[in-house]
Amino acid sequence: MAEPAPVLVFDSGIGGITVAREIRRLMPGLPLVYAADDAGFPYGAWQAEALTRHCTDVVVRLAGELRPSAVVIACNTASTLVLPPLRAALDIPVVGTVPAIKPAAERTRSGLVSVLATPGTVTRDYTFDLIRRFAPEVAITLVGACQLAGLAEEALLHGHLDPAVLAAEIAPCFVEKNGRRTDVVVLACTHFPLLAPRMAQIAPWPVDWLDPAPAIARRLRDVLLASGAATGEEGAGAPARALATTGRDLSAVLELLSAETLAISGAEAASSV
Ligand code: DGL
């Protein structure tokens, strides 16, 4: 019998693994291909037009080769641009990952929310639209972090993490105004949940770190059930593989799909002092 078509989970690097894990957890019987466009990493630094063209080309080419049942763009920086062209080019469902501003607005008590993202995501009309539609009453601080995605890759793959750089990157998220403090930080880049435990340790006060990955997995399940590409009775142990556009070996990353936690073990201070 022919293998069922896989779901293609796409990111610029290894951050999308935070989404792929949740998909795996929810639907362990779903074959999955994780694709990292590490040749284009980091996406946060690209101009919008060039990134739209590049990403659309890469995903359309991968979809032609892999014949997936659906594509998940596990990248906020790309999703805030490429969902319309991809949906026009592909005849399968395309699920995006965009800043979780709506749930953050529902969750905040102080009315101060920060959106921690790449420098690209915080300049997108898509992000401004989400704020206008879902958080008009909330004071949103947009924080475009230049180094965090690279820091997450380095920490996960090589165990190096400089806490001083991490602290400096997240510092603008913590706002105090009229006796109120930021209480929700949206992790609007799929790399950032990899660093969330460390961020929580060095944060000036406790906040909710909002990771949209479980919601993306549920959205994918609904879409697959609706399209008939999944029945919900697939069982477990479906194959998963990973590829990188540079051809680099991603087997270590693939192992994280079923690892107990994504804790960045051994990521000790590469001392900045
Ligand atoms: N993981 C990506 C995101 O969710 C971006 C990382 C990068 O390539 O800069 O935005």
How far are the Cα atoms of 1, 21, 43, 145, 191 from residue 255, in angstroms, in the given order? 27, 10, 24, 28, 17
Look up residue 102 and give its two tokens.
């709506």
126 is in an annotated binding site: no
To test the pocket of ligand 1, the residue of 34, 41, 75, 169 to mutate (highest count of ligand atoms within 8 Å of its CB) is 75
How far are the Cα atoms of 7, 152, 253 from residue 241, in angstroms, in the given order? 11, 21, 10
234 exposed, middle or buried (CB, 10 Å; 0-12, 13-18, 19+)? Answer: middle
97 exposed, middle or buried (CB, 10 Å; 0-12, 13-18, 19+)? Answer: buried
Q: Is the CB of 92 under 6 A from ligand 1?
A: no
Distance from residue 235's CA to the centre of ligand 1 (Å): 31
Q: Which residue has the tokens 């990188």?
A: 244
Task: Write out the DSSP string of 232-246.
Answer: S---S---EEEEETT
In the chain the domains, ranked by start, together with CATH numbers, are 7-97+213-263 (3.40.50.1860), 101-210 (3.40.50.1860)
Nearest-atom number in ligand 1 for the CA of 75 is 4
For residues 41 and 103, is the Cβ–Cβ distance under 8 A? no
How far are the Cα atoms of 86, 169, 243 from residue 124, in angstroms, in the given order? 17, 20, 28
pTM above 0.85, yes or no: yes
pLDDT of residue 141: 98
Cα angle vertex 58, ends 57, 59, to 5°? 95
Active site residues: 75, 189
Distance from residue 228's CA to the centre of ligand 1 (Å): 30
Q: Is the CB of 77 under 6 A from ligand 1?
A: yes
Q: Is the CB of 79 under 6 A from ligand 1?
A: no
pLDDT of residue 252: 86
Predicted confidence (pLDDT) per residue in 165-218, tens digit: 999 999 999 999 999 999 999 999 999 999 999 999 999 999 999 999 999 999
**pLDDT beneath 50, residues of the chain:** 265-273
Q: How is residue 137 annotated by DSSP? A: T
